[in-house]
Each structure stands twice: as structure tokens, then as C-alpha cells.
Amino acid sequence: MMRKMISVGSALLLSAGLVLAAAPVEPLAKELNNYPALFLQEKNFNGYIVVGENAKASDVLAATDIVIGLANAGYKFPSSITKLTQEITKLKDSNLILVGGPCVNSLTANFMNSFGECTEGFNPGKAKIMLYENGEKIALVVAGYSGEDTRAAGKILESFATYKLSGKSAEVERGSSLSEVSVVQKK
């Protein structure tokens, strides 16, 4: 026979007809300052990092930079963390980090509603990190004017503890090398 033990204080509250309830856990604000926690369940990454089928090597390297940043921070993730856009069949079922601009990543184009001129809103030497709601999940777009610009944004996320992003979006500026990246605008 198994017995449940409750404290004297709990027994008194229960006998008085009061119900014990755990304090509700507040969900994290869907803002960049909560990256990467928005993608974590405990210390496990909960989502996919997605590149387009036509992604350039620099977009794949940006995705790799993001994974390296998560690994360096001690987070765990499945071996299937990276996907191509065609492998995401149910968009709202997963948290997504979408790497690459609308020209090379159709899911980025979907979230940015950018089906016309795919470089509209982007400038050479700059990239964007933008957070979108995805039903109950979230999508983080990491996109630049060029693949090198996207890689610069990936470098920012690789060193997320250094850059302290905030708000729903940030603009990244690339210098003459990947070691010269900076966040120039936060919204």
C-alpha cells in the first residue's frame, strides 16, 4: 500500500476547503531578448533551423554559426535540427529559425510577405533578424541582402550573449570581414 505524504500546513488548508495551486508560469515575451530561450524546453532546442533549397553556402554557414552558438551555450539539440524548406510540411507545428532572404528561402518570403521583388527592404552590407508569431509557435528570420550579409546575422546569433538583442527585430551591419559585425538598429 502506497501512502501520500502532505505537510501539516497543506492538510490544514485542504481541510478548510482551500485548494492549493502552483503559481502560474508566465510565458516568455516573444522578443529577441528571450533568444534562445524561446526555442528551448529545459536545455533542449525545440524547433528547426531551415535553409532554402537554393541556399548559398554562406546561408548554410550562417545556420551552422547559429548551431555553434547554441552548442557553446550548452544547449542540446537533435541531429535533425537543420531542414530544407521543402521538409517543413506543417508550418505552424514547429518553432523555426529561417536562414536566408526571401530570394532563397520561400518560408522567409512567406513570413515577410515578400513575393514580388525579393530584395525589397534589404540594403547591401546589412541583414535583419526578425521575430514573427507562427500560430502558437514562433519564427525567427535571419536574412540579409546577400549571403554574406545573412552570415553576419548568423554571427550575431552565434554570440547572442554578447549582443543583447531586444524588441521584435534588429538590423545587423557587416564590415569588411565577418569579425566586424554590429547591431545598428533595434526595433
Helix (H/G/I), strand (E/B), else coil: 49? strand
Domain 26-186 class?
alpha beta
State the first-to-last Cα distance of the chain, in angstroms, to the nearest integer: 60
Q: What's the angle, vertex CA 169, arms to CA 144 and CA 84, rounded to 5?
A: 50
Domain boundaries, the chain: 26-186
Name the pTM for this structure: 0.83
Residue with cell 532572404: 101
**Which tens digits make up the pLDDT trace of 132-171?**
999 999 999 999 999 999 999 999 999 999 998 999 999 9
